[in-house]
Amino acid sequence: MLTTPPGLGPSPLTIFHVVFSRGRSSAERHALDLAEAQAVAGHAVHVVGSGARLRRSVPQGVTWHALPFPLLRDARLHALLRRHQADVCHGHLGPACKAVSRCDGVVRVGTLHQGFEPSRHELLDGVVCLNRDQWHTLGTYLGAARVVPPWAPRPRAARPGPGLRERLKLAEDQVLIGTVARLTRSKGVDLLIRAFMQSAPGHAVLAIIGEGRQARALKRLADDHPGIHFLGHRDDIDAALEDMDLFVSPSREEDLSLTLLEAMRAGLPIVATRTQGARQLLSDAHSTLVPIGDVPALSAALLARIRGLRMPMPGLRPARERVTYDLGLYERDAAVARIESFYRALISGGAWQSKRLMPSGSSVPPERSAR
């Protein structure tokens, strides 16, 4: 375990991130970006996962361990942690957090990508909340907690070849509406398809980036509409966003969306449903919030935003319309440092002897001690 020689700064940590999902959506990208940042900071960082797709996305400097089958997975994870003398084991999403909570001899942490679930999180030493609302739902949880808002992952290099608009053969005066989401019911892509089909003018195009178990049903719903394009998974999200004119987040539930943060970083006007995450992130004239599940309201908001866009004239290629958001609370370096300080507080134990703390300033994230 961690030791610090007298007179020297904190020793590097050995950190394991555990992700047992097979997708490459927001939670997985968040975990891998955190792992990359920690490796760059000099820590020995490992990722334990079950999917080949995740393996292909593991950043340089991070060690991959495959645990593809559920049989005896907890025991095999525990053996890995002991073999590498891990200081911290950090779970992402429910199945991974549950496995992490069953290990011992290591500080056990989980990030609440989908909210607090006692059966999966109650035995962890600490949880990372993505927003204050999550922190307020912890109830009788006995571990420590810290709010660390997410951040937009480091941009990836654009794919070689044509950009999104060129691939779709769009004229410069056509409106490209986009969404990036796992294709599951909670993400509400079906609502967006219905809203687009109801109100979008003929010069508008909808690009849906993502994959998931609802893909076939959503394609049936779109019914070969000429303006709706399913583009599957893309690693170069930032490059795709640069070609869009309007971003839409139609989720039925969302704690805090990395893709919203990426769309904000790209300076896109945004239409979003009033999920917990959207309400926290979006509060100015550059965004429109509509009720969750309300297709007519979403349709009207799309039409209003499309009509309000200043589009290039045919034959010209000026920069597309961009707006500015305040992302000061969602800076990558500050968030990564805050997570490391949480790890060290849990390792030392000394920082978590007081009762639950709730700061008075809204800009200071809340913390709570282990009780």
Q: Which residues contact 259 (CB under 8 A, 6 or more apart)?
A: 26, 179, 180, 181, 237, 247, 249
User: pLDDT tens digits, residue range 81-113?
Assistant: 999 999 999 999 999 999 999 999 999 999 998
Supply the DSSP string of 141-175, one letter for each residue. Answer: --SEEEE----PPPPPPPPSS--HHHHTT--TTSE
Same fold flag, 14-151+331-368 and 167-308: yes
Whole-Å CA distances, 186 to 135, 211, 250: 21, 13, 9
Least confident of 130-134, 332-336, 344-348: 130-134
The three-point CA angle 122-338-112 to 5° equals: 30
**Which of the listed CATH numbers 3.40.50.2000, 3.40.50.150, 3.20.20.70, 3.40.640.10 matches domain 14-151+331-368?**
3.40.50.2000
Q: How many CB atoms lie within 10 A of CB 122?
A: 18
Section 208-212 average pLDDT: 93
Identify the band that residue 246 occupies on the pLDDT scale cut at 50, 70 and 90: very high
CA distance 149 to 329: 7
Q: How many CB atoms lie within 10 A of CB 22?
A: 13
Sheet of 204-209: strand order equals: 228-232, 204-209, 175-180, 246-249, 270-273, 287-290
What pLDDT sits at residue 154?
85
**Percent of the chain predicted with pLDDT > 70:** 89
Which has the closest alpha carbon to 111: 95, 101, 100, 97? Answer: 97
Pairing between β-strand 367-368 and β-strand 144-147 as defined by DSSP bridges:
antiparallel
Tell me which residue has tokens 């000061």: 328
Whole-Å CA distances, 346 to 35, 106, 144, 352, 370: 19, 10, 8, 7, 9
Say how far residue 273 (Cα) sits from the centre of its chain. Answer: 17
Say how far residue 8 (Cα) sits from the centre of its chain. Answer: 35
Section 296-313 average pLDDT: 87
Question: Which amino acid, one-letter code, is at 91?
Answer: G
- Ranges of each domain in the chain: 14-151+331-368, 167-308
Phi then psi for residue 49, to 5 deg, are -150, 175
Whole-Å CA distances, 17 to 21, 117, 163, 211, 310: 12, 19, 33, 23, 44
Q: Is the pLDDT of residue 56 over 60?
A: yes
Supply the DSSP string of 173-231, one letter for each residue. Answer: TSEEEEEE--SSGGGTHHHHHHHHHHH--TTEEEEEE---TTHHHHHHHHTT-TTEEEE
User: pLDDT tens digits, residue range 13-33?
Assistant: 999 999 998 767 788 889 999
Measured in Å, how far apart are the chain's first and last C-alpha atoms? 23
User: pLDDT tens digits, residue range 60-84?
Assistant: 999 999 998 888 889 999 999 999 9
What is the number of alpha carbons within 13 Å of residue 188 lying toward its C-beta? Answer: 24
CA distance 291 to 298: 8
Report pTM. 0.83
Question: CATH topology for 167-308?
Answer: Rossmann fold (3.40.50)
Question: Both tokens of residue 144?
Answer: 């420590």
Say how far residue 1 (Cα) sits from the centre of its chain. Answer: 30
